[in-house]
Amino acid sequence: SFFFTLQIHPVTTQGSQQTQQPQKHYGITSPISLAAPKEIDCVLTQKLIETLKPFGVFEEEEELQRRILILGKLNNLVKEWIREISELKNLPQSVIENVGGKIFTFGSYRLGVHTKGADIDALCVAPRHVDRSDFFTSFYEKLKLQEEVKDLRAVEEAFVPVIKLCFDGIEIDILFARLALQTIPEDLDLRDDSLLKNLDIRCIRSLNGCRVTDEILHLVPNIDNFRLTLRAIKLWAKRHNIYSNILGFLGGVSWAMLVARTCQLYPNAIASTLVHKFFLVFSKWEWPNPVLLKQPEECNLNLPVWDPRVNPSDRYHLMPIITPAYPQQNSTYNVSVSTRMVMVEEFKQGLAITDEILLSKAEWSKLFEAPNFFQKYKHYIVLLASAPTEKQRLEWVGLVESKIRILVGSLEKNEFITLAHVNPQSFPAPKENPEKEEFRTMWVIGLVFKKTENSENLSVDLTYDIQSFTDTVYRQAINSKMFEMDMKIAAMHVKRKQLHQLLPSHVLQKKKKHSTEGVRLTTLNDNSLDLSMDSDNSTSVPSPTSAMKTSPLNSSGSSSSESIPQTATQPAISPPPKPTITRVVSSTRLVNQPQRPSGNSATKITCPVAGVKRTSSPHKEESPKKIKTEEVLLCCLSVSVLLSNIITIW
């Protein structure tokens, strides 16, 4: 059996000579340790709390009460709206008086780990006579009339349809679910699987967030310890740029499930111990073995569930973390080879740091130090999305960001690329034309190239990778009728020393000297963006790639020899065939580069081409300190010319 091939592990009871009292069992395996906290653990936990406070992870009581008040107002609006709908549909007065309707919360707010200023994920639950169309019409109009409501927008065609708004300064996302009930009681428990009968798939998806959140809270031994540990891990993940489900890392619910599993394995531990054990467990975890909080249950509702025994595609998931509520799903299907490599390395580094903290060789602040992503790699791809208005930018950026993982997946399938690491943070980009109203957003992807032997000339063609990505984005924008003129995507290869010309100065922590050997970039309408070059006299910052590729998943930095319960292994993923490419889009060109002939200047596009000179001998190629690079050339090609997006390495 895939799910239940488990090892038996002895339970340790360190720190206690007394006979352990029977306690409730959590999770699909026995706990690793039932050890009670020692005095030093309590001291370290208090130090952890003090370290977390300046980061704003704890909300003030006044702000918490304000959220409760806002949710109360929203709940009353829902009840009032459902009564109005009931009257319009001529329901009996006896039903109207008790028809109910309710706002449920899920996500970080429901888990009790939301930070200052965080948004609220909410679910509007309505009885069977209220349609989804009512939610997106009459309820939307009712919200529009509320003076506290700003930035109201409906996303009806989304995978999980949602109304987004800002209510008295708090951002709220509201989903909708219609249950097969005549009335909605106040004490409704959404964990009841029978509620899913006869529901359409969109309602089931909308209910899923609440059902998963409630299950997680019921599956941890101590909610307070779970919450404090999760606050610490979420802050760590955000500081280390590995918090983003949409970009292929982990989102909030996935981090919550990993912390919950740690709590199950150490049910009596407090936060300082649990943070350390978190890194211990998941630096040793043998992915793609799944993380499960409970044994999957079959409800005979014929809904698709994550099960690699039945679904071949589930066998290819790289880092499965399975939601505990029916229908069970993998919350990490966006994880790629690169993002998993980055996260596993971060787990190992987190273990090394917490080992030091427990030995009083470091403070908690070291765990939350943000690494400088922009010093980590020698090569980057900068991706820019632009739109003529702020409203269009919000929609366009949302679509582009949701597809970046496709570009990352395509890059990491390139035979010469070892790692493609996207920074989850986006940044405002310099304008092409200062006199033109334009809103631009930029993402940065770090690249690591495979070290080649016996090859002095290596050309890496990225045309396909960028073309397939831009084609996908434009195709979806057109199909969803979202596309507007002047919505653009541009992608360029940039070296580390060039980033200072594109990024805000505050994000580049390490200042470096730059020469003024000029390479001037302009857009197709000749409005310039200056990318000054310098000679590469810096030492390459080591990346985690080599350690990831040569080290086993088990951590060697652990002070513990505990065995981690696993489940059976899955087969490795095989890449699908590449689709046909039709277009590549960019908006910059080199002014001092000879321009290629073109029949129509309005259709010109560009392809980033990089020349990198490698002066080390083939025998010493593995040493990044020996690698010297020359200037990066960005050249413009037209549609009628063969497109090449090449990084040439000598």
For residues 198 and 530, the model is more confident at 198
| pLDDT, average across residues 366-379 | 92
The DSSP code sequence of 203-236 is: HHHHHHHHHHHHHHHHSSS-HHHHHHHHHHHHHH
**Where does 279-399 show beta strands of DSSP type E?**
291-292, 321-322, 379-387
Check the annotation: does 120 bind a ligand. yes
Lowest mean pLDDT among 1-15, 107-121, 330-344, 462-476: 1-15
Q: Which residues are catalytic?
A: 108, 119, 121, 173, 234, 243
459-475 per-position pLDDT tens digit? 788 888 888 888 889 99
Local structure of 500: helix, strand or coil: helix
B/e letters for 278-294, b = 16+ CB within 10 Å, e = fewer, are bbbbbbbbebbbbbbbb
Q: What is the rounded CA–CA span in Å between residue 567 and residue 293?
A: 12
Report the first-to-last Cα separation within the chain, whole angstroms: 51
Q: Is the pLDDT of residue 4 over 80?
A: no
Q: Which residue carries 């590469």 as its tokens?
A: 536
Cβ–Cβ < 8 Å for 375, 541: yes
Does 350 have pLDDT greater than 60?
yes
Report whether pLDDT(265) > 90: yes
Write down the pLDDT at residue 457: 64
| H or E segment and range at residue 83 | helix 61-88
Cβ neighbours of 425 (radius 10 Å): 14
Which H/E stretch holds residue 328?
none
pLDDT attached to residue 285: 97
Query: Which pLDDT value is given to residue 518?
Result: 31
Q: How is 126-175 classified by DSSP, letter by letter? A: E-TTS-HHHIIIIIHHHHHT-TTEEEEEEETTSSS-EEEEEETTEEEEEE
* 243 labeled part of a ligand binding site: yes
- pLDDT tens readout for residues 214-254: 999 999 999 999 999 999 999 999 999 999 999 999 999 99
Return the residue matching tokens 């990089």.
610
Task: Please say if the pLDDT value at position 533 is more than 70.
Answer: no
pLDDT class of 437 with cuts at 50, 70, 90: confident
Q: Any known ligand binding at 121?
A: yes
**Res 611 pLDDT > 50:** no
pLDDT digits (tens, 9 = 90+) for 72-128: 999 999 999 999 999 999 999 988 989 999 999 999 999 999 988 899 999 999 999
Task: List the single range of 158-162, 449-453, 614-618 with lowest mean pLDDT.
Answer: 614-618
Token pair, residue 156, equals 């009806």
Q: Please say whether the beta carbons of 426 and 397 come within 8 A.
A: yes
296-323 per-position pLDDT tens digit: 888 778 888 999 999 999 999 999 999 9
**How many CB atoms lie under 10 A from the CB of residue 1?**
8
Per-residue pLDDT at 607 exceeds 90: no
Instruction: Check whether 252 is labelled as a binding-site residue.
Output: yes
Known binder of ligand: residue 151? Answer: no
Q: Strands 605-608 and 634-637, how do they pair? A: antiparallel
Q: How many CB atoms lie within 10 A of CB 53?
A: 9
The residues, ordered by sequence, that sit 6+ positions from 538 with a Cβ below 8 Å of its Cβ are 496, 497, 512
- Give every CB contact of residue 217 below 8 A, 6+ residues apart in sequence: 110, 111, 223
Instruction: With cut-offs at 50, 70 and 90, classify the pLDDT of residue 589.
Output: very low
167 annotated as a binding-site residue = no
Looking at per-residue pLDDT, the higher value among 606 and 68 belongs to 68
Q: Consult the annotation and say whether 282 binds a ligand.
A: no
Lowest mean pLDDT among 191-195, 369-373, 504-508, 532-536: 532-536
Is 248 labelled a binding residue?
A: no
> Do the beta carbons of residue 431 and residue 440 sit within 8 Å?
yes
Read off the pLDDT of residues 127-141 as tens digits, 9 standing for 90 and up.
999 999 999 999 999
Count of C-beta atoms within a 10 Å radius of residue 381: 24
Question: Is residue 353 a contact partner of residue 362, using CB atoms and an 8 Å limit?
Answer: yes
Mean per-residue pLDDT of the chain? 78
